[in-house]
């Protein structure tokens, strides 16, 4: 049994589930975090990893953008590498860099050192979810995890990377090790998401941020079966499931296939390179779309922002006319640290007024 709430009025849950929302829902990837002075103040006293394993801090940082921007969904404050760290991988999140892995995973022997995630290793995250669903009222809480490919890219490269070259070299040149790594990471992702669903999150999003580095053929061969297993394992919860990546114009069909057909509502995240009505023709019928304002637009001054926001909302309506099950307004990728939080608040007000 889980503790899931019924939120029939939530515009986010309606749009993500193919029902008609009372208004266009809006939230922002990376809405919690570095664009907010109240976040920077908390982080000045705690490392990222301390924050990610402290239920009170997770709760407070998750709520900060809800109080400020009145968005239609909260996203759990955590990171895609949290379940890896919890299951015993030596890693840190380094300021202004991102995840750094102490011993990169490059051989079959390295893969064999990876251990399954036990739910009690992420107990503070479960505790925070329990506190959040009490605090959030009728705002839904989105849980998340990294998709196996994007997790693999950090483990194999040892940190952030531009070309993902060691990752792709293993994938293409040592396929047995690759599939063993992807299988282990798929298990970790499923365990992390199952814990979140049991703790009460109202929706989940799987971040395959760097999948866009792959050709469609390679994505289908080396990634799709593993990502499909993630969604298939989570579907029985019945919560909307979103699959997101950047630079995925050619992969939208395959990524929606991974998330669809398991019996739970499916949504695909679209970046700014693909117009929403075009994305609607690429995804599996019955899929909702999320996106797709270029995050850089938020740095270009209000007149530019206003025009671009109106275009995305209109494109969302045209996407629904073209067959999309719904539209959730978001950015095409995360909020950039330099973004003025007041612009974000104004975007929320504008989307809600349209």
Selected catalytic residue, list 39, 154, 219, 222: 154
* Alpha carbons 218 and 303: distance in angstroms, whole number: 41
Provide the 8-state DSSP code for 26.
B
* 134 closest CA partner among 55, 192, 223, 241: 55
Interacting residue with ligand 1CP among 30, 168, 273, 346 (CB under 6 A): 30
Q: Minimum distance from CB of 130 to ligand 1CP (Å)?
A: 18
Site string for ligand 1CP, 148-167 (x = CB under 6 A): --x---------x-------
Tallying the residues shown for the chain, one arrives at 354
* Alpha carbons 229 and 226: distance in angstroms, whole number: 5
* Among 93-101, 165-173, 195-203, 275-283, the segment contacting ligand 1CP (CB under 6 A): 93-101
Indicate if 54 belongs to the active site. no
* Alpha carbons 39 and 32: distance in angstroms, whole number: 7
Provide the 8-state DSSP code for 68.
H
Q: Give how many residues touch ligand 1CP by CB under 6 A.
A: 24
Indicate if 43 belongs to the active site. yes
* Alpha carbons 354 and 139: distance in angstroms, whole number: 20
* Alpha carbons 145 and 124: distance in angstroms, whole number: 16
Nearer to ligand 1CP, 124 or 277 (CB): 124
- Decide if residue 59 touches ligand 1CP (CB under 6 A): no
CB 234 within 8 A of CB 193: yes
* Alpha carbons 39 and 61: distance in angstroms, whole number: 7
* Alpha carbons 103 and 156: distance in angstroms, whole number: 9
- Decide if residue 213 touches ligand 1CP (CB under 6 A): no
Closest residue to ligand 1CP in the complex (CB): 98
* 101 closest CA partner among 154, 170, 169: 154
Q: Minimum distance from CB of 142 to ligand 1CP (Å)?
A: 9
- Decide if residue 144 touches ligand 1CP (CB under 6 A): yes
Interacting residue with ligand 1CP among 334, 339, 341, 348 (CB under 6 A): 334
- Decide if residue 95 touches ligand 1CP (CB under 6 A): yes
Indicate if 187 belongs to the active site. no
User: Catalytic residue numbers?
Assistant: 30, 34, 43, 79, 154
Residues forming the site for ligand 1CP (CB under 6 A): 29-34, 43, 48, 75, 77-80, 93, 95, 98-99, 144, 150, 160, 207, 209, 333-334
């Amino acid at each position: 049994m889980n503790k899931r709430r019924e939120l029939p009025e939530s515009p986010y849950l309606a749009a993500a589930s193919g029902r008609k929302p009372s208004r266009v829902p809006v939230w922002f990837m990376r809405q919690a975090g570095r664009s907010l002075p109240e976040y920077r103040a908390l982080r000045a006293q705690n490392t990222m990893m301390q924050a990610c394993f402290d239920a009170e801090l997770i709760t407070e940082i998750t709520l900060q953008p809800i109080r400020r921007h009145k968005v239609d969904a909260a996203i759990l404050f955590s990171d895609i590498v949290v379940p890896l760290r919890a299951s015993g991988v030596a890693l840190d999140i380094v300021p202004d860099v991102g995840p750094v892995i102490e011993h990169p995973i490059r051989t079959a022997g390295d893969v064999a050192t990876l251990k399954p995630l036990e739910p009690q290793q992420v107990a503070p995250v479960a505790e925070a979810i329990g506190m959040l669903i009490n605090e959030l009222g009728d705002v839904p809480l989105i849980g998340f995890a990294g998709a196996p490919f994007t997790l693999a890219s950090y483990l194999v490269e040892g940190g952030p990377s531009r070309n993902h070259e060691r990752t792709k070299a293993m994938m293409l040149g040592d396929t047995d090790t690759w599939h063993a790594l992807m299988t282990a990471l798929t298990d970790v992702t499923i365990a992390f998401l199952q814990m979140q669903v049991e703790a009460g999150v109202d929706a989940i999003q799987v971040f395959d941020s760097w999948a866009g580095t792959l050709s469609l053929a390679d994505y289908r061969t080396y990634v799709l079966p593993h990502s499909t297993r993630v969604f298939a394992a989570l579907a029985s919860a019945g919560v909307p499931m979103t699959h997101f990546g950047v630079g995925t114009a050619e992969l939208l069909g395959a990524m929606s296939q991974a998330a669809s057909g398991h019996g739970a509502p499916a949504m695909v995240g679209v970046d700014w390179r693909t117009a929403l009505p075009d994305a609607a023709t690429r995804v599996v019928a019955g899929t909702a779309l999320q996106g797709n304002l270029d995050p850089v637009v938020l740095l270009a001054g209000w007149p530019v922002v206003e025009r671009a926001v109106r275009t995305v909302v209109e494109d969302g309506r045209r996407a629904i006319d073209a067959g999309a099950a719904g539209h959730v307004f978001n950015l095409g990728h995360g909020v950039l640290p330099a973004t003025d939080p007041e612009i974000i608040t104004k975007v929320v007000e504008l989307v809600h007024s349209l």
